[in-house]
Amino acid sequence: MASLKADFDEVMQRVESGRELSHASFEPIFYLVFSPDQIGEVKRLTPSWVAKLKNAGWQVELFSIAEHVADILAAAPTRKVWLAAEKKAPLDWERTNKSLANELLRNNQLQTRLEDLLARIEGQAKTIVLVTDLEGLHPYMRIGAIEAELQGKFHIPSVLLPRTASTR
């Protein structure tokens, strides 16, 4: 298994060389995929990757999916209802997850936050977005749903750090 440091360096080489129009995509979106057992290591390495990028002259924008999901759910108008329902049926995970997913999808809140970031930094030279904590989307949605809706809006190199599905 290749090291995460080497994988990150490879992704950055691809970012530096740019992305050409291909049958798959023309947007500067890159993926650093890792296994579920590497989540802790990715979290430990992220600050050093940010520092490395800044030392190389990049302006780094971090977008933590987990932080935005938590923020959206904490501010949800139905939060009190969820808490009361959870007390009545604490093990009804299917219903709970469906309610939480509905809140994230309401007004495309998560997508809008990422879109706002991309719009705010568009045109800034040597800027890169690191989209972290994608596991925070599970089980509500997949990043591909958000990415598809934002097609044509990624003008800044963006590195997504998704984990692979568990092999167990």
At 145, the pLDDT band (50, 70, 90 cuts) reads confident
* Residue 113 or residue 90, greater confidence: 113
Average pLDDT of the residues of the chain:
88
* Residue 9 or residue 138, greater confidence: 9
Q: Where are the domains of the chain?
A: 4-160
Nearest-CA neighbor of 130 among 119, 118, 145?
Answer: 118
Whether 25 shows a pLDDT value over 60: the answer reads no
Q: Which of 40-44, 138-142, 151-155 has the lowest mean pLDDT?
A: 138-142
Share of the chain above pLDDT 70, in %: 92
Instruction: Report helix, strand or coil for 41.
Output: helix
Measured between alpha carbons, how far is 18 from 29 in angstroms, rounded to an integer? 10
Supply the pLDDT for residue 2: 65
pLDDT tens per residue across span 77-90: 988 888 888 888 88
Query: What does each C-alpha distance from 149 to 143, 144, 161 come to in angstroms?
Result: 10, 9, 18
Share of the chain above pLDDT 90, in %: 58
Whether 21 shows a pLDDT value over 70: the answer reads no
Mean pLDDT of 85-100: 85
